[in-house]
Chains A and B, each alone.
Chain A
Amino acid sequence: MDALRITHVEGTALPMRGEDVDTDRIMPARFLRAVTFEGLEQHVFEDERSGSVAGDRAKEQHPFDNPQYAGASILLVNRNFGCGSSREHAPQGLRRWGIRAVVGESFSEIFFGNSVMIGLPCVTVSPDELHELMERVEERPSAVLRIDLTAGTCEIDGFTCAIGLPAAARDALVTGAWDTTGLLLARYEEVNAVAATLPYVAGF
């Protein structure tokens, strides 16, 4: 489990402004037409990036196309990121693209859970702090952002703020227990015991 421990994430960042970014935007449904997650990194935000009709109509370059942010490993987002469909293909695509952590005002619950389960921490900061982080990154895209899950902080160019991460998710990530299946199978006799108390399992 040690190999799976995630205590720090460090790297340059990519600011993506906007509320309620849904998983259909992150990974359009047609890319779910496959029996593996392989290659999904090629399709992240595809329908709004350069080369798409909407992307070419847009006045501004999409942050995922902006060469200033090439190689970024931390995504900065606003409120309710990852809402909508439960498709794990969205965080899978982001992770395969190179994102190793997401910092935002808030996250949709299913997206948050899916991300933790693939070792992609999603941490929250206040709207003002997020604004500050985005401005600093936009000003100096080469600035390195450091997220310390154990200390509960994130830092860039001397600006430090506290991060929010539910204790269960933090513990799962820092101890490497985010791949939960093993945990759930560990004391399987207890599962059978609970099932035996449920009247519907026995057909009433």
Chain B
Amino acid sequence: MGKTLLQKVWDAHAVRILPTGQTQLFIGLHLIHEVTTPQAFDALRARGWKVSRPDRTFGTVDHIVPTRERNRPFLDLLAEDMITALEKNCHDFGIRLAGLGDDRQGIVHVIGPELGLTQPGMTIACGDSHTSTHGAFGAVAFGIGTSQVRDVLASQCLAIEPLKVRRIKVDGVLPRGVYAKDVILAIIQKLGVGGGVGYAYEYAGSAIDRMSMDERMTICNMSIEGGARVGYVNPDQTTFDYLKGRPFAPEGEAFERAKAWWASMASDADARYDDEVVIRAEELTPLVTWGVNPGQSIGVGGRIPSVDASLPDQQAVADALAYMGLEGGKPIAGMRVDVAFIGSCTNSRLSDLREAARIVKGRHVAPHVKGLVVPGSVAVKRAAEREGLDEIFRTAGFEWRDAGCSMCLGMNPDKLVGDQVCATSSNRNFKGRQGSPTGRTLLMSPAMVAAAAVAGEVVDVRELSAEVAAGAI
């Protein structure tokens, strides 16, 4: 009987079974940022512990950093305090930090892969639930809380319970205008926001096999929105090609040896899965969320659900409609948007920006819309500027910002105001998520956000991109 990648990685990293029955798992890479670590470092100091493996720990700043006017000290004094604390902690404990002003700074889940820190067969932990992103490389990556950050800092280990594996096969060819974002939104819609609890999601099938690393990262990123703490794709030639030449990837003969080991960690053909789900790529359409969790989505051509007393869980529908100020039965297309945000660890990589730029080129953001493009890292920003994407966005009326998490969670000055509606390429449409307690979020692909920004309302990107393809502009 073959093994899954999850089992192989687990077996390779298991130190022992703890008296509680949990597994003590060695963590190959610990990524840290300013928001979920200061209390953990304080705990280390209080107990006189050091950081066990500073060589396997890497820090950056992303959650709270401003995306403009980044001169120190920041106008935002709380942000200044948190950044200063991380700088001091990394300095005191000997941890590498891609801080502000560093060419490597960016969203932690963008820079790990970009720098080649993230590699197949590794265990990875970070105090952020979107750590599942790194699974795109065939790593097993856990989002953890601050007490667990303390554990990993002090011992380079986690005490954790085994997971089941659900293979999600996406077979076939994605229709035009349907992106990785739509695939993962469709998976969450089908399996539910709690459907993955207790599971790791293994994404497979011909549609996933053909995807770029950027696209695989988008899929794995939102595993947690389906309740699965871990999501991964088996490493293949696409993975190896991406890693070759990255700053922290092995070089020369070591790269060849690495490749052999990475390939050996992929799930065996006869591996046994605890569950399996098949999705036909051809049946997917561009999706938009209408509610207050990422499972509440419909096709852009669809109608907003109504409360149907014959179905279960209708209180949640009623509650979401009330919060969103929506009427059931109406089309989602045509819903007015106030803000368009292209960014976040889900969709802020170069390919995302290219796709959005392709839609907005030669067009302009609607007069009532505030458009914001926040590249995922300094490197993404510079690469985009080399291609002139910044000019396309600026000319179209978007603001072009510096790298950070920004309006995905509104911990810095980039926030919604009042009841604003935001078309966003980020990952969560929870109540109040984007910084205004009554703000409203519509999740969609970056291309759909670009289309909504131009139209000033939710619109099917395929209508706009047909014009692009036909050279109408």
Contacts and interface: CB of A to CB of B under 8 A. Distances in A.
Nearest to A34: B78
A53 B419 CA distance: 10
A33 B411 contact: yes
B36 A24 contact: no
B39 interface: yes
B293 interface: yes
A79 B313 CA distance: 11
A191 B26 contact: yes
Interface in B419-438: 428, 430-433, 435, 437-438
Interface in B54-97: 56, 63-64, 78-79, 81-82, 85
Contact of B154 (A80, A166, A177, A181): A181
Contacts of B227: 80, 83, 108-109
Interface of A: 17-20, 22, 24-25, 28-30, 32-37, 47-48, 52-54, 79-80, 83-89, 91, 106-110, 113-114, 117-118, 166-169, 171-172, 175, 177, 179-181, 183-185, 187-188, 190-191, 194-195, 197-201, 203-204
Contacts of B229: 109-110
Given A110-B144, A110-B145, A25 B28 contact: no
Given A18-B316, A197-B12, A198-B26, A25 B145 contact: no
A174 B13 CA distance: 28
A199 B122 CA distance: 10
Given A36-B39, A86-B143, A191 B432 contact: no
B306 interface: no
Contacts of A25: 430-432
Interface residues of B, number: 84
B432 A86 contact: no
Q: Which of A19, A48, A114 has the most CB of B within 10 A?
A: A19
Contact of B21 (A36, A80, A171): A171
A114 B148 contact: yes
Given A177-B20, A181-B151, A204-B258, A28 B145 contact: no
A199 B13 contact: no
Interface string B199-231: 000000000000000000000000011010100
Given A18-B315, A30-B410, A110-B229, 14 more contacts: A19-B316, A20-B293, A22-B431, A34-B78, A34-B82, A35-B42, A85-B409, A89-B146, A106-B197, A108-B227, A168-B22, A200-B28, A200-B119, A204-B255
B13 A200 contact: no
A117 B82 CA distance: 24
B19 interface: yes
Contacts of A179: 147
Contact of B19 (A183, A185, A199): A183
Given A25-B431, A80-B193, A86 B144 contact: yes
A187 B293 CA distance: 43
A200 B121 contact: yes
A26 to B, nearest CB: 10
A27 to B, nearest CB: 11
A84 B319 contact: no
Q: Which of A33, A37, A54, A87 has the most CB of B within 10 A?
A: A33
Given A36-B38, A110-B144, A204-B254, A18 B319 contact: yes
Contacts of B333: none
Given A110-B229, A183-B18, A200-B122, A48 B150 contact: no
Q: Which of A30, A35, A110 has the most CB of B within 10 A?
A: A35
B437 A204 contact: no
Contact of A47 (B22, B53, B154, B437): B437
A32 B316 CA distance: 27
A200 B258 contact: yes
A87 B26 contact: no
Q: Which of B227, B319, B430 has the most CB of A within 10 A?
A: B430
Contacts of B85: 35
A192 to B, nearest CB: 9
B145 A88 contact: yes
Interface in B99-155: 119, 121-122, 127-129, 143-148, 150-151, 154-155
Contact of A22 (B20, B56, B145, B293): B293
A110 B155 contact: no
19 contacts: A22-B428, A25-B431, A29-B433, A30-B411, A32-B411, A48-B437, A54-B431, A80-B194, A106-B194, A109-B197, A109-B227, A117-B147, A168-B18, A172-B20, A175-B19, A181-B47, A181-B151, A191-B26, A194-B26
B258 A48 contact: no
B194 A204 contact: no
B148 A113 contact: yes
Interface string B12-42: 1111101111101010100000011011001
A118 B156 CA distance: 19
A54 B26 contact: no
Given A30-B410, A84-B129, A181-B151, A194 B194 contact: no
A114 to B, nearest CB: 4
A54 B437 contact: yes
- Which 6 interchain pairs have the tightest Cβ spacing? A80-B194, A114-B145, A88-B145, A47-B437, A184-B155, A35-B38
B157 interface: yes
B79 A33 contact: yes
A19 B318 CA distance: 12
A113 B85 CA distance: 26
Contacts of B26: 191, 194-195, 198
Q: Which of A22, A107, A181 has the most CB of B within 10 A?
A: A181
Interface in B243-287: 250, 254-255, 257-258, 261
Given A86-B128, A114-B145, A181 B122 contact: no
A2 to B, nearest CB: 15
Contact of B157 (A47, A86, A114, A184): A184
B159 interface: yes
Contacts of B14: 194
Contacts of B56: 201
B151 to A, nearest CB: 5
Nearest to B226: A83
